[in-house]
Amino acid sequence: MRITYIFHSGFAIECNGFSMLFDYCKDSGKNPTRGFVHDTLLKKPGPLYVFSSHSHPDHFNKDILQWKAQKPDIIYILADEIRVKKKLNFPDAVYLKKGEQFRDEHISTEAFGSTDIGISFLIEAEGKSIFHAGDLNNWHWRDESTAAEIKEAGDAYLQELHDLTARTRHINIVFFPVDPRLGTDFMQGARQFIDAIRTDVFIPMHFWERPAETEVFAPYAEQKGCRYILMPYPGEGTDV
């Protein structure tokens, strides 16, 4: 299984005979139609599962719907929130709400909640569990919020985390926001996640143009037994 960082919260996972792409907003190259997705993934044999967790433009680009013309074996798995917000009438997609599932011969997917909009994804593929958080995080904004707002954000996150831990206490590969814009204790949501769920591989995302700052989370993650993999450059890949 090979993981390639595309941009922001976008990642590709290449498996044996199929691939997955999460939260595409732009390709890894400087030209919007060049990079790993257009030059490699869309030309790769085998089904391509394209996931989008919600409608924010840094997680969903409607251009993905045009790819079906060049790669008929694309399977779109989208948050139902995208269908509603974007008024999509696109029949070749699976739309999921929290608690709903999709399964075929290659993958099993279950939708979990978010503390923003849309959903997060728990996937079983090639004997591994994979979690892509979308915008699920403890968005406390501690330096600019009231105590009540901080508590509300924390409680909402812990409820979603509780729902996930009711399903599993161990995930092999986790993609999770580690966003320095949160300011003080910007790693809190990530820390709470790996405290609650044993995580084999932790991959930070949603760090905007500040990837180096997420390195401060590595020692804590490694102390918890995680392999911490930061891919700061679009197009960078690793085997897991």
For residue range 185-196, list pLDDT tens digits in order. 999 999 999 999
DSSP 136: -
For residue range 51-85, list pLDDT tens digits in order. 999 999 999 999 999 999 999 999 999 999 999 99
Q: Which residue has the tokens 């820390």?
A: 191
Counted residue by residue, the chain has a size of 240
Predicted confidence at residue 72, as pLDDT, reads 96
- Token readout for 54 is 């919600």
Helix, strand or coil for residue 123? strand
Q: Is the pLDDT of residue 32 over 90?
A: no
φ, ψ for residue 43, nearest 5 deg: -100, -5
Q: Which residues pair with 111 in a beta bridge?
A: 121
**CA distance to 86, 88, 189, per residue, from 32 (Å):** 21, 23, 31
Q: What percent of the chain has pLDDT over 70?
A: 100
E strands, 93-149, are 93-96, 101-103, 107-112, 120-125, 128-132
Q: Which CATH code is given to the segment(s) 2-239?
A: 3.60.15.10
How far does Cα 115 stand from its chain's mean position?
14
Q: Is the pLDDT of residue 33 over 90?
A: no
Domain ranges for the chain: 2-239
